[in-house]
Copies of this chain bind each other. A is one copy, B any other.
Amino acid sequence: MVPIQHIFKLNAAARPGRMIALARGSMYSFQQQGMISGADSFKSSTPTFGKIPYLAMSFGILVGSGLALYHTGSQKIQLEALPVKEPAVSSMGERMSTYIKNLQQEIVNEISTIDGKRFKQDSWQRALGGEGISCVLENGNVFERAGVNISVVHGKLPMAAVKQMRAEASAQLTGEGPFDFFTASISLVIHPHNPMAPTVHLNYRYFEVQDPNAPGKPVWWFGGGSDLTPSYLFEDDARHFHSTLQAACSPHNAEFYPKFKKWCDKYFVNTHRGEARGIGGIFFDDLDHASGDQESLFKFVQDCGNAFLPSYIPLVQRRKGFAFTPAQKEWQQLCRGRYVEFNLIHDRGTKFGLHTPNPRIESILVSLPLTARWMYDVKPSPGSPEEHLVNVLKNPREWV
């Protein structure tokens, strides 16, 4: 990785209202990707104020597991170098980091114990500021693939990026930035071998942006959730998963579970097929002071995170030894194909992660299954369990 000396701000005159934050390392990365050309002036290690022909690709926002920060639609924009400073991390930032690190190890240990195979643990540093640990288990005895990542990342964010990410947060900030940001995030996807055992996904994150005019009082929010994707639907399993999450939510706020359950059903959808990715769970994007004080919400997020093992492990224990036919294994593989479709076509985290400067591809794509399958115009036979699942994916149900 190339060490980062600067962040570049889009010249407002060149593109009013739109800004770009790119660090030196990311420049090189974009160049390799053919997204920026003629950026030779950036090859020196000192900041450069020249014009850079820049070919636009996409909008970007800052997401849990990575930084995506550009963007625009212009052919030529002017970049301006700004010094990078180390941000001050709040004590909540530190506590969330500690919490997700511990949760990661707890989950990795439990999954590893069930499987009998150890995770590969991969620590990485982010040139733009921050670090992470990717834990991966592949071709285990019980699990086809399990990836459990954490990342703790900080850096600079221009106002436009804060706005794109979260309008409510930008309204609380003064000036045009760039602002120091900090994020701590845990995310996992677990795909078991047995088609009767469901795939599960989890992500919880804490985010803060520092207003330079209000030192020590960052704008902050939590986000995340957890959801289940079975190939064969056992209603007991669906009820257990949802009621465990509900039990974690309800002591904090009676509205949380029903609201976050709906949000989950609405977000995890293969819109091109008119089918949910799975049978849902909970999802929330921006839990801040409007929903409760920081301490209570941190407790809520911890309760959700701590509910993960109890919500999922009993389902794996029940189903991992079930007998299944080759046709059922094939159906699971087709379901895996739909999972790949959601993650690569629709999932915002994956999409923005991949368009991030210097994306950590392996950590981002660890959500994909080990194997997947596509077949033309598969229609489950009437009355079959496969058809039953598809019907539920087309019409999400209440489970508690």
User: A residues near B, CB below 8 A?
Assistant: 32-35, 57, 120, 122, 134, 136, 138, 145, 147, 266, 269, 271-274, 333, 337, 340-341, 344-345, 351, 354-355, 359, 361-362, 365-366, 368-377
**Chain B proximity of A160: nearest CB distance (Å):** 14
**Contact between chains at B374 and A370 (CB < 8 Å):** yes
A340-B344, A354-B345, A377-B122 in contact; A34/B269 too (CB < 8 A)?
yes
Contact among B362, B369, B371, B375 for A377, CB-based, below 8 A: B362
Contact among B269, B341, B355, B359 for A344, CB-based, below 8 A: B341
A340-B344, A354-B345 in contact; A34/B271 too (CB < 8 A)?
yes
**Chain B proximity of A55: nearest CB distance (Å):** 11
Going nearest first, the 5 A-B pairs with the smallest beta carbon separation are: A344-B344, A33-B271, A272-B354, A368-B374, A136-B376
**Chain B proximity of A263: nearest CB distance (Å):** 12
How long is the Cα–Cα vector from A224 to B41 in the complex, in angstroms?
A: 36
Contact among B134, B340, B371, B376 for A120, CB-based, below 8 A: B376
How long is the Cα–Cα vector from A98 to B376 in the complex, in angstroms?
A: 25
How long is the Cα–Cα vector from A138 to B372 in the complex, in angstroms?
A: 15
Contact among B147, B266, B351, B372 for A371, CB-based, below 8 A: B372
How long is the Cα–Cα vector from A356 to B337 in the complex, in angstroms?
A: 20
A33-B272, A272-B355, A272-B359 in contact; A376/B341 too (CB < 8 A)?
no
Q: Which residues of B contact A33 (CB under 8 A)?
A: 269, 271-272, 274
Q: Which residues of B contact A375 (CB under 8 A)?
A: 138, 370
- Chain B minimum-CB-distance residue to A30: B271
21 sampled A-B residue pairs with Cβ under 8 A = A33-B269, A33-B272, A34-B266, A34-B271, A134-B376, A136-B376, A138-B375, A138-B376, A272-B355, A272-B361, A337-B368, A340-B340, A340-B372, A345-B345, A345-B351, A362-B376, A365-B374, A366-B376, A370-B373, A371-B373, A372-B372
